[in-house]
């Protein structure tokens, strides 16, 4: 989900309690306590069979002396494949994660990393509402299995990041406020996990995310890629980063501002929803918004001036839409409840705050789950991380033969297909001319059109008909088929 609660870019708020880190029974897997040392001092765990259900096993690597990974079996929603939960410990900071083995061939299938957006929204939304092996419809009734889960054909991570999101926490108020900072924690985690479990080494690895994940994922993937020479030098197999997948991403915010006008005032998705007068007023502001953003956020980055430009654009394009009472994440629907609009998100929070559920997952004592953290949102707002974009990271990954999939639900408003198509067509890279020359063509599932797509040289843009911001939630079958074809290197 993507928050955008008005003008939080200019807000000042101090919130949050930081519960102390609970002690756990652990098993150290480094002969020298995980400190710096030669690669020969490293003793890998090798197999997930050694991971217990009753206590955490701790993974360390001498290349990352300040990091540890605690992991335990937690089969709370998946009967057909093993599930694990744990914490990525970075001294006094702790990131929570889930790992689900593939229902198909876990010893052969690809590995997918998933993060939700926000900034500040929990990946349990992706897990328990979208693409995970189970969903929560009613908190009291527990989980129900999802046939079209992405772990039908892949091993899948879900990570609560950055610090302060979901079950993740810091002991003394530590935090990160930029995507580049958060990327270092993710790259270290990926390296430690793959170095311990040899069966995943060399396996195709896909990094994916949604919404603000359009900013996160390209930066995270770049950090993983750039870390590989260090791993090789230490005698550790490199991570086989194969692709990134971004759903309804906020990858280029500047491209999204004019698209907000088009989605409200033209039949880009459904017939115009905005009044004629508001559309006339917005259209007059679009050029000023674009000029101000270019001068203060792109040609140069001036925090104060860029903040003012961003506030102007948000006020001009977002406020009239919010006043309509429509769902930010599906222009065809009214917002049902709260700022996130979906009652399922409320039920997920209730479920994850049950004591029995937290005990099964191994959540540290004293944690209260919230779907989205306002504090994390504001920490990132202070640095205007949203305006730094990630298109240059996307281009750099493409130039290194890392494939890129940008998929967008046709009914999403906040991170819509119009803005995402615009930046993909404008992206500067060696395949620009070939990609931009391709027409949009239908892609089909079970004989029916699932959306439109354009592709060239490893770069694919696709729409998903009838889906909103959370494509796997609205179109689970089409979503899974898209991912299976993508992992197999097939055209959509």
Q: What angle do CA 89, 378, 249 make, to 5 degrees?
A: 80
Diameter over CA atoms, the chain: 71
**Structural domain includes residue 294:** no
Instruction: Kindly state the tokens that stand for 169.
Output: 């926490």
**Structural domain includes residue 129:** yes
Q: Is 61 a catalytic residue?
A: no
Which one of 412, 432, 455, 474 is the catalytic residue?
Answer: 412
Q: Going by C-beta distance under 8 Å and a sequence separation of 6 or more, which residues neighbour residue 291?
A: none
Q: Going by C-beta distance under 8 Å and a sequence separation of 6 or more, which residues neighbour residue 146?
A: 131, 132, 133, 134, 135, 476
Cα–Cα distance, 130 to 208 (Å, whole number): 13
Which one of 94, 196, 206, 469 is the catalytic residue?
Answer: 469
**Structural domain includes residue 224:** yes
The full DSSP string for 203-235 is: --EEEEEETTHHHHHHHHHHHHHHHHHHHHHTT
**Structural domain includes residue 275:** no
From the number of C-beta atoms within 10 Å of its C-beta (0-12, 13-18, 19+), residue 356 rates as exposed
Q: How many CB atoms lie within 10 A of CB 318?
A: 20
Distance between alpha carbon 21 and the CA centroid of its chain, in Å? Answer: 25
**Structural domain includes residue 75:** yes
Whether 369 and 157 have beta carbons less than 8 Å apart is answered as: no
Cα–Cα distance, 228 to 206 (Å, whole number): 15
Number of folded domains in the chain? 1
Q: Is 175 a catalytic residue?
A: no
Query: What is the span of the domain harbouring residue 214?
Result: 8-253+388-487
Which one of 123, 211, 243, 373 is the catalytic residue?
Answer: 211
Per residue of the chain (492 residues), give pLDDT as tens. Answer: 644 543 443 332 222 222 333 333 333 333 333 333 444 467 888 788 888 898 998 888 888 988 988 999 998 887 888 999 999 999 899 999 999 999 999 999 999 999 999 999 999 999 999 999 999 999 999 999 999 999 999 999 999 999 999 999 999 888 899 999 999 999 999 998 888 888 899 999 999 999 999 999 999 999 999 999 999 998 889 999 999 999 999 999 999 999 999 999 999 999 999 999 999 999 999 999 999 999 999 999 999 999 999 999 999 999 999 999 999 999 999 998 888 999 999 999 999 999 999 999 999 999 999 999 999 999 999 999 999 989 999 999 999 999 999 999 999 999 999 999 999 999 999 999 999 999 999 999 999 999 999 999 999 999 999 999 999 999 999 999 999 999 999 999
**Structural domain includes residue 62:** yes
In 352-470, DSSP assigns E strands to 403-409, 441-445, 448-456, 459-464
Q: How many CB atoms lie within 10 A of CB 469?
A: 28
Q: Going by C-beta distance under 8 Å and a sequence separation of 6 or more, which residues neighbour residue 245?
A: 112, 206, 207, 208, 209, 217, 405, 407, 483, 486
Cα–Cα distance, 82 to 103 (Å, whole number): 9
Whether 1 and 121 have beta carbons less than 8 Å apart is answered as: yes
**Structural domain includes residue 18:** yes
**Structural domain includes residue 452:** yes
Q: What is the CATH number of the domain that holds 199?
A: 3.40.50.1820
Question: Measuring CA to CA, how many Å separate 14 from each of 238, 303, 330?
Answer: 41, 21, 31
Which helix (H) or strand (E) segment holds residue 98: the answer is strand 93-100
Which residues are bridge partners to 459 per DSSP?
A: 404, 456
Please tell me whether the overall predicted TM-score, pTM, comes out greater than 0.85 for this model. yes
Which residues are bridge partners to 247 per DSSP?
A: 210, 407
């Amino acid at each position: 989900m993507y928050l955008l609660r008005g003008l939080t870019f200019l807000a000042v708020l101090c919130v949050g309690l930081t519960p102390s880190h609970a002690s756990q029974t652990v098993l150290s897997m480094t002969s020298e306590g995980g400190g710096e040392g030669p690669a020969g001092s490293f003793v890998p765990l090798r197999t997930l069979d050694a991971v217990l259900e009753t206590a955490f096993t701790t993974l360390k690597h001498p290349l990352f002396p300040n990091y540890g990974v605690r992991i335990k079996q937690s089969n709370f929603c998946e009967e057909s494949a093993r599930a694990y939960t744990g914490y990525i410990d970075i001294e006094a900071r702790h990131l929570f994660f889930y790992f689900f083995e593939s229902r198909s061939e876990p010893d052969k299938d690809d590995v997918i990393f998933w993060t939700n957006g926000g900034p500040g929204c929990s990946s349990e939304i992706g897990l328990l509402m979208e693409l995970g092996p189970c969903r929560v419809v009613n908190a009291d009734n527990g989980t129900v299995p999802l046939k079209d889960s992405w772990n039908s054909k892949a091993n899948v991570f879900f990570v609560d990041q950055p610090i302060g999101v979901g079950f993740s926490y810091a002991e003394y108020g530590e935090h990160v406020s930029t995507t580049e900072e958060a990327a270092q924690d993710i790259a270290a985690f990926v390296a430690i996990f793959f170095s311990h479990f040899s069966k995943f080494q060399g396996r195709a690895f896909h990094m994916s995310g949604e919404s603000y994940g359009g900013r996160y994922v390209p930066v995270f993937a770049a950090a993983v890629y750039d870390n590989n020479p260090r791993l090789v030098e230490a005698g550790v197999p490199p991570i086989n980063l194969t692709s990134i997948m971004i759903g309804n991403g906020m990858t280029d915010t500047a491209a999204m501002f004019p698209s907000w006008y088009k989605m409200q005032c033209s039949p880009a998705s459904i017939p115009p929803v905005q009044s004629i007068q508001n559309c006339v007023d917005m259209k007059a502001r679009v050029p000023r918004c674009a000029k101000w953003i270019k001068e203060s956020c792109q040609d140069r980055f001036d925090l104060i001036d860029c903040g003012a430009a961003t506030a102007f654009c948000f006020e001009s394009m977002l406020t009239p839409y919010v006043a309509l009472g429509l769902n930010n994440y599906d222009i065809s629907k009214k917002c049902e409840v709260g700022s996130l609009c979906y009652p399922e998100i409320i039920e997920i929070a209730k479920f994850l705050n049950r004591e029995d559920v937290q005990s099964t997952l191994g959540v540290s004592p004293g944690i209260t789950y919230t779907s989205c953290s306002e504090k994390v949102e504001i920490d990132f707002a202070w640095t205007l991380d949203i305006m730094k974009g990630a298109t240059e990271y996307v281009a750099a990954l493409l130039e290194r033969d890392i494939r890129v999939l940008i998929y967008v639900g046709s009914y999403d408003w906040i991170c819509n297909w119009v803005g995402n198509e615009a930046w993909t067509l404008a992206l500067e890279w060696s395949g620009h001319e070939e990609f931009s020359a391709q027409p949009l063509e239908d892609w089909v599932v079970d004989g029916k059109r699932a959306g439109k797509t354009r592709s060239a040289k490893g770069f694919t843009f696709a729409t998903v008909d009838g889906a909103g911001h959370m494509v796997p939630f609205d179109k689970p079958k089409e979503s899974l088929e898209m991912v299976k074809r993508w992992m197999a290197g097939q055209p959509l």
